[in-house]
Chains A and B, each alone.
Chain A
Amino acid sequence: MPGTGRPRNRGPVIEVDELTKRYGPTTAVRELSFTVRPGHVTGFLGPNGAGKTTTLRMLLGLVAPTDGSATISGHTFRRHARGLRHVGALLDANDVHGGRSARAHLRTLARSNRIPASRVEEVLTEVGLTGAAARRRVGGYSLGMKQRLGIATALLGDPPVLLFDEPLNGLDPEGVLWVRSLFRKLAAEGRTVFVSSHLMSEMENTADQLIVIGKGELIAAESLTDFAARGTAPTVTVRTPDAGALAAVLASEGAVVASEGAEMLRVTGVAAARVGELAHEHHFLLRELTTEHASLEAAFMELTAHSVEYLAGDSR
């Protein structure tokens, strides 16, 4: 039921199966398989050059796969005569003609899909491109305004599936907050929202499901919480004047203890609560007891360390 935003079943909507794309000797995407379900914001993560954009282009039939398949709601996208009511997409905010106004750009797209011109005004209002901004030629837009126009394009057909490639690039903080709440709203309406990014921090507050790829291959496909748990184990920081004695007690409990300065210990392998209990039993004075959870960013860096395509000189 395209157009309603509420598919009947909750099964996967986007299905990528053994998808491969080769450009001569280079393999951009290699036997990639994953699914994306409706009702969630799914993040599509990977370092630069991981194959995210190529995968999204294959989903939209812009690039033909060398092997495998990519379907949306059970169909390859190119089988549709018109696309906007099936899938809304923002692939690159610069994929517009600089000589047209935002309104003219949207009107041509709307007309080709038999979408009324009134809908153009609705989406322009929704993304905040009203008045003079809608009449201005897109060539003079900032990247943030172009992103807004791209989001308006994706929303035009009120589609049940939305694809966004790096939509937060160039947006101001207010814009980032707006986009996050928009994505969550779209997902809450039962739509499938698939958003790519090369920055984990962007996904942290946006997505609840993650597909992580590196060098064209799948690295992880799971919920954000599961993904975070993959990273380094939590570290407990303890500050106490009895550092040496507490370290011995903790070591006998099987913890790995590293001392940092005279009063500071960094403990792994034992939960903070247990550290507190042990300190209490042995009458040690604690000045600080905190748990540092591994950041998503760290988990992401760790997982993709081997698949980063472009490394700056220092990190080579």
Chain B
Amino acid sequence: MTTVALTVPAPRFTDLLAAEWLKLRSLRSTYWAIGVSTLVVIAVNANAARADYVNYPHYNNVTRDQFANTALFDAFTNGAAMILVLTAASVGAVTVVGEYATGLVRTTFAAVPDRRALMSAKAAVVTAVMTVYGAVVASASFAASQAILSGRGVGLSISYPGALRVVVASALLAPVSALVGMAMGALIRHSATTMVLATGLLLLLPIFVTERYHWTACVRNALPFNAWDRLVQVNYGHMPYRLAERYPTTVTGAWTVFAVWAAVAAVVTVVAVDRRDV
């Protein structure tokens, strides 16, 4: 046996980042999940733009006058956002649950007893990768949808007021969802249950919680999917064919919802794993 080193080098956080990055990219499932989802999300948005392109001659004047709303809706549709949330939450959850379900977590923690550092590195890598994924799909969706609508002369440029917010909010919905997926995984540690509850929390709850009462509206506005919905409505409260909210929320409020969910999820991920036996 050869002796590699006589001294133990000082621990570096960057080593953990590099190791977690290696871990993520050494799994085929990562490529499949992100690759397929990227194509589907862009295709769904482009298809919405294509439908409006086809139907445009039949739209009435109200719709045509305020077509910017529709163009920005096509830039990132609700359906596409749901697929993005599902993808990001799964990728995030799998990085944690995959360790527990396989038993790899014991090998990992025997190699890196500093669990907080390890989980922080994992959260950082997942956040970075999902931010890039979100940025790519949101930018490509915006470019594709507006290029299609330009065929009717109604495509918008990114400098149109609020357009950048649509792209950034859609991009950031990915890392927020991924961190929530990680936190759920860290708490539940069981693959199927984690996915069901993460989907319920991120996608079903926003549909079922009404804005009928003030307190339910508060809950509703505090959910990440609804925060995204608020951010992508450039003319919030003045949208044609859409009832104004009884308890409206603000752009700042929606950004805060994103930030708080991401921060709390990251803390839960690190703390829950640190405290429990494996």
| Chain A residues proximal to chain B, CB less than 8 Å | 1-5, 57, 60-64, 77-87, 89, 91-92, 94-101, 104-105, 107-109, 111-116, 119, 122, 126, 153, 155, 157-158, 185-186, 189
Bound complex: CA A189 to CA B2 (Å): 11
Chain B residue numbers with a CB within 8 Å of A114 are 9, 11-12, 15
B107 within 8 A of A: yes
Q: Shortest beta-carbon distance, A103 to chain B, in Å? A: 9
Selected from A86, A91, A94, A111, the residue in CB contact (under 8 A) with B19 is A111
Selected from B8, B26, B106, B278, the residue in CB contact (under 8 A) with A108 is B26
Bound complex: CA A217 to CA B117 (Å): 35
Tell whether, in the assembled complex, residue A158 and residue B3 are in contact, meaning their CB atoms are under 8 Å apart. Answer: yes
Q: Shortest beta-carbon distance, A154 to chain B, in Å? A: 9
Bound complex: CA A153 to CA B110 (Å): 10
Bound complex: CA A114 to CA B1 (Å): 19
Tell whether, in the assembled complex, residue A109 and residue B107 are in contact, meaning their CB atoms are under 8 Å apart. Answer: yes
Instruction: Mark each residue of chain B from 41 to 75: 1 if its CB lies under 8 Å from any CB of chain A, else 0.
Output: 00000000000000000000000000000000000
Tell whether, in the assembled complex, residue B16 and residue A96 are in contact, meaning their CB atoms are under 8 Å apart. Answer: no
Q: In residues 81-139 of chain B, which contact A (Cβ within 8 Å)?
A: 98-99, 102-114, 117-118
Interface size class of B (residues with CB under 8 A): 35 or more
Q: In residues 226-278 of chain B, which contact A (Cβ within 8 Å)?
A: 277-278
Bound complex: CA A153 to CA B19 (Å): 15
| A77, A81, A155: residue with the most chain B Cβ atoms closer than 10 Å | A81
Tell whether, in the assembled complex, residue A87 and residue B110 are in contact, meaning their CB atoms are under 8 Å apart. Answer: yes
Nearest chain-A residue to B121 (Cβ)? A112
In the complex with contacts A64-B277, A78-B113, A92-B103, A108-B19 CB distance below 8 A:
yes
| A4, A112, A158: residue with the most chain B Cβ atoms closer than 10 Å | A112
In the complex with contacts A79-B113, A114-B9, A62-B15 CB distance below 8 A:
no
In the complex with contacts A92-B106, A109-B107, A82-B114 CB distance below 8 A:
yes
Tell whether, in the assembled complex, residue A109 and residue B278 are in contact, meaning their CB atoms are under 8 Å apart. Answer: no
Bound complex: CA A141 to CA B171 (Å): 39
Tell whether, in the assembled complex, residue B278 and residue A86 are in contact, meaning their CB atoms are under 8 Å apart. Answer: no
Bound complex: CA A60 to CA B111 (Å): 10
Chain B residue numbers with a CB within 8 Å of A60 are 106, 109-110, 113
Q: Shortest beta-carbon distance, B101 to chain A, in Å? A: 9
| A60, A82, A89, A98: residue with the most chain B Cβ atoms closer than 10 Å | A82
Tell whether, in the assembled complex, residue B113 and residue A3 are in contact, meaning their CB atoms are under 8 Å apart. Answer: no
Nearest chain-A residue to B101 (Cβ)? A97
| Chain B residues proximal to chain A, CB less than 8 Å | 1-9, 11-12, 15-16, 18-20, 22-23, 26-29, 98-99, 102-114, 117-118, 277-278
Bound complex: CA A194 to CA B19 (Å): 28
Bound complex: CA A86 to CA B8 (Å): 9
Nearest chain-A residue to B29 (Cβ)? A99
Chain A residue numbers with a CB within 8 Å of B102 are 94-98
Known: A108-B19, A114-B9. 13 other contacts (CB 8 A): A4-B6, A60-B106, A61-B109, A63-B277, A81-B112, A84-B111, A91-B106, A91-B110, A92-B106, A95-B103, A96-B102, A111-B19, A158-B3
Q: List 9 A-B contacts (CB under 8 A).
A: A5-B1, A57-B278, A60-B109, A60-B110, A78-B113, A84-B110, A99-B27, A111-B15, A112-B15
| A84, A91, A95: residue with the most chain B Cβ atoms closer than 10 Å | A95
Chain B residue numbers with a CB within 8 Å of A63 are 277-278
Bound complex: CA A113 to CA B82 (Å): 38
Selected from A1, A62, A115, the residue in CB contact (under 8 A) with B110 is A62
In the complex with contacts A109-B111, A111-B15, A3-B5 CB distance below 8 A:
yes
Nearest chain-B residue to A103 (Cβ)? B26
Tell whether, in the assembled complex, residue A113 and residue B112 are in contact, meaning their CB atoms are under 8 Å apart. Answer: yes
Q: Shortest beta-carbon distance, B124 to chain A, in Å? A: 14
Bound complex: CA A79 to CA B11 (Å): 12
In the complex with contacts A62-B277, A111-B19, A112-B111, A155-B1 CB distance below 8 A:
yes
Nearest chain-A residue to B106 (Cβ)? A95
Tell whether, in the assembled complex, residue A116 and residue B4 are in contact, meaning their CB atoms are under 8 Å apart. Answer: yes
Tell whether, in the assembled complex, residue B113 and residue A77 are in contact, meaning their CB atoms are under 8 Å apart. Answer: yes
Nearest chain-A residue to B16 (Cβ)? A112
Tell whether, in the assembled complex, residue A3 and residue B3 are in contact, meaning their CB atoms are under 8 Å apart. Answer: yes
Q: Shortest beta-carbon distance, A216 to chain B, in Å? A: 16
Chain A residue numbers with a CB within 8 Å of B6 are 1, 3-4
Chain B residue numbers with a CB within 8 Å of A111 are 15, 18-19, 22
Selected from A64, A82, A92, the residue in CB contact (under 8 A) with B112 is A82
Chain B residue numbers with a CB within 8 Å of A122 are 2
Q: Shortest beta-carbon distance, A85 to chain B, in Å? A: 5
Nearest chain-B residue to A81 (Cβ)? B11
Bound complex: CA A84 to CA B6 (Å): 13
Chain B residue numbers with a CB within 8 Å of A92 are 103, 106
Tell whether, in the assembled complex, residue A85 and residue B22 are in contact, meaning their CB atoms are under 8 Å apart. Answer: no
Chain A residue numbers with a CB within 8 Å of B278 are 57, 62-63
